[in-house]
Structure 1
Amino acid sequence: MLRSSKNFFKYFLLIILSIFTYSLQAIVPKAPGLAAKSYVLMDFHSGKIIAEHNPDMQVAPASLTKMMTGYVVSAELEAGRISLDDEVLISANAYAQNPVFKGSSLMWLEVGKRVKVEELIKGLIVSSGNDAAVALAEHIAGSESAFTELMNHHAAKLGLVNTQFENAHGLSATSHKTTARDMALLGQALIRDFPEEYKLYKERSYKYNGIETPNRHPLLSDPTMMVDGIKTGHTEEAGYCLVSSAMKGNMRLISVVMGTDSKNSRKTESKKILSHGFRFYKTVKPLQAGKELTRPRIWMGEKDQVSLGIAEDIYVTIPNNNGELKAHFVVEEDLSAPINRGQRAGKVFFVLGDETVAEYPLVALEAIEEAGFFGRTADSVSRWFDSLFD
């Protein structure tokens, strides 16, 4: 039983913020089954998986590999270790006529020529050039094998727990594997971390050395969709794969379809799952970063209360059905100074019906210094007296 206002903010106290209510109208049907080995549909902003099938089954990624190659290149550019104006000497290993690349996608580089990094990036992303992938790998790390260490390092940082890269281009190799979930996370990271590079993924074609190569993503030209990337992939082992991202209003979805049996199938199945997501779900932003949610009592501080809220804007994916989204928060018991700005002090939960659909940390929006001797002594006495009624 709560006997004092000082004890009001106990950790397990649940406080309903009923102002976050959304009127929803239609029943959400089950996501359609797809003719694919595995697939994932993810909301970009919230990270919620809307639909999935075998999301963690390891499969060959084919040219989806180049998403990570591009991610590493962007990270090296951001770190200042390479420049867009760097001229790369094209090795025999990267040369388009190297036997390992027969029948594969190319930028059509020539051995012994020097090509700027900026051009190689376009050849990697738009043309899906295996030669461009190897040329960039050698420029950054000295060899393709050394470059794959960087790829796997970034994969680990991004939480791609079921992914292992053995090369920069995606041709089949023994341990070169990924999953639909990991590819969705990689797509999310590309858009979030390197938005300028991501703009290249919607380019329809790229011309180099007098040869124009098309972007193979089939949904870029579909007028019924809002797709602005990301990548196709195909080998005999992988089948036909497609990662897509599309925007509708304030909602961005990422679909990953792995292992279909044809180009047309990967297009059709991707369109099917994206349409389901946009039709039956929506992304809402119920709370803004920096907005105060509560001011609980604190002990031993220069102030008696601290402002709490969230550190980053919150997004929640909810279905378009009858229900009420509510925000609840809990505050840690006996908060004491000193308190740093951004320090965790509880949690915010979002509940739809009986289901908790998301949770985020509740943090201090201000720093509170420790009180002087007399202030601390007074609070110690108050805390002792208050504990008598617990």
Structure 2
Amino acid sequence: MENIKKYFILFVCLTMLCLLVPKNSAAETLSVDDMLEAMPAEEIIAVECSTGQVLMEKNSAKVCEISHLTKLMLALLAAEKLENDELSLMDTVTVSAKANSMPAPQIWLDKNEKITVEELIKAITISNANDAAVALAEHIFGSLDEAVTEMNCKAKSLDMISTTYADVCGLDDKTLSNAADTAILASELVKHDILTSYFTSWIDHVRDGKAELVNLNRLVRTYKGITGLKACSSSSAGECTVVTAKHGKMEIAVVVIGCTDRTLCDDIAKKLLDMCFDVYSLYTPEITDDMLEKIPVLLGEKSKVSVDFGDVPAVVVPKGSSDSFDISFDKDKELSAPVKKGQVCGKLECRYGDQVIYSADLVAKNGVKQKNFASCMKILLNYLLKI
């Protein structure tokens, strides 16, 4: 009866949530706090990975224990080492007494056993093996203390302001984070394709078949476009999941922490992914040739300067809303030398009603020096030589 009640509450709140999604709103964050509050989880957040835009959230800044989600940071550091050729999947690791002593979940590593880096990565991405996490951290960083230091440095560089790592497994009650920071970490992890095949594996084996790995993230079997990442549970953190999925160019990360039931946790993640993909899309304004025409430069060593928008970032908008955008573009007709590289010389702006939902600066691609006597003589000489 209690489970039936939980499912009924979840069904009602998700139904109301869908009804409250604004069909003609350009707001970056859905105002659905009341509906999310009814969901049986302590923290919830959904973000678009490439832009970092928060699409919905509940208590996502609340600092708490995160259990095995800690291992996501270790996986990120391992991926960076692999891509920089500082680590190889085929490297052999000798298991230490410390790794052998770690509690479950584990793959039952023996002291002095030889195992590859790839098997250890499988054990912490597909599964949540503590002994594998310690063995991998010791191999990469030399010691667990150094590994923790590097994990904290990386968290700081990613602006994960509420995250503190005290161990590599998530067993220490001083290892703390929140849903918001975990979403930042998830958005960084999906950039590393080298991990995708592991994060999306349902079942695998290591140690010559002696240890079976079963992914607790059930959505890897059923959700279209799934790219990861991890599910876990503990008495301190409750049921947790970090799920990422990609449809087209848009990739969504959903983090659920402190849920009361594993099935409910999966259902919340799936429903939020569905809503994000159903309601939102990525938008980038069209850059036309006339926008990029060179601008004349007065009294410059060069008569014109090339312009560009640089990297034009996308923005998340409600589906179908782009047809109602008011797009304006202003560009300087001419510039006076000297012109600095990166100097702003125009602006593209998209409005939805009174709200600016997108803007990009047009800038000079290179600098143009002002004419002086020497440059004028050079121009004159070149002209005379052509006569």
Q: Same fold (TM over 0.5)?
A: yes
Tell me what 2:173 maps to: 173
- Structure 1 counterpart of 2:113, which letter? K
- Once the two structures are overlaid, the 10-residue window that deviates more, 253-262 or 311-320, is 311-320
Alpha-carbon RMSD? 2.9
Tell me what 1:55 maps to: 60
Report if aligned partners of 2:138, 2:147 keep a CA contact under 8 Å in 1.
Answer: yes
- Secondary structure of 1:368's aligned partner: coil
- Structure 2 counterpart of 1:35, which letter? P
Q: Quote the Cα distance in structure 2 between the aligned partners of 1:181 and 1:294.
A: 42
Which structure 2 segments of 5+ residues have no match? 1-21, 377-387
The one of 200, 203, 222 equivalent to 1:205 is: 203
- Once the two structures are overlaid, the 10-residue window that deviates more, 209-218 or 104-113, is 104-113
- Secondary structure of 2:233's aligned partner: strand
- Secondary structure of 2:181's aligned partner: helix
- Structure 2 counterpart of 1:231, which letter? K
Tell me what 1:86 maps to: 91
Mapping of residues 274-313 of structure 1, within 5 Å: 274-287=273-286, 292-293=291-292, 295-296=294-295, 298=297, 301-313=300-312
Deviation at 1:172, TM superposition (A): 3.6
Q: Quote the Cα distance in structure 1 between the aligned partners of 2:289 and 2:238.
A: 47
Tell me what 1:182 maps to: 181
The reply on whether 1:264 has 2:269 as its aligned counterpart is no
Deviation at 1:301, TM superposition (A): 3.0
- Structure 1 counterpart of 2:274, which letter? S
Q: Quote the Cα distance in structure 2 between the aligned partners of 1:154 and 1:257.
A: 22
- Once the two structures are overlaid, the 10-residue window that deviates more, 65-74 or 203-212, is 203-212
Deviation at 1:260, TM superposition (A): 0.6
- Structure 2 counterpart of 1:271, which letter? K
Deviation at 1:63, TM superposition (A): 1.1
The reply on whether 1:337 has 2:342 as its aligned counterpart is no
Q: Quote the Cα distance in structure 1 between the aligned partners of 2:344 and 2:144.
A: 43
Tell me what 1:150 maps to: 150
Pair 1:30–1:131, CA change in 2 (3 A): same
Pair 1:54–1:293, CA change in 2 (3 A): farther
Q: Quote the Cα distance in structure 2 between the aligned partners of 1:159 and 1:120.
A: 28
Tell me what 1:249 maps to: 248
Q: TM-score, normalised by structure 2?
A: 0.79
1:220-276 superposed Cα distances (whole Å, 9 cap, x missing partner): 1225x4322111132211111111111223322111111111111210111121121
Report if aligned partners of 2:337, 2:368 keep a CA contact under 8 Å in 1.
Answer: no
Percent of residue pairs bearing the same amino acid type: 27
Pair 1:369–1:230, CA change in 2 (3 A): same
Report if aligned partners of 1:107, 1:127 keep a CA contact under 8 Å in 2.
Answer: no
Tell me what 2:105 maps to: 105
Which structure has the higher relative contact order (CA within 8 Å, separation 6+)? 1
Q: Quote the Cα distance in structure 2 between the aligned partners of 1:336 and 1:87.
A: 61
Report if aligned partners of 2:282, 2:316 keep a CA contact under 8 Å in 1.
Answer: yes
Tell me what 2:357 maps to: 357
Q: TM-score, normalised by structure 1?
A: 0.78
Pair 1:292–1:190, CA change in 2 (3 A): farther
Q: Quote the Cα distance in structure 2 between the aligned partners of 1:161 and 1:290.
A: 42
Report if aligned partners of 2:298, 2:337 keep a CA contact under 8 Å in 1.
Answer: yes
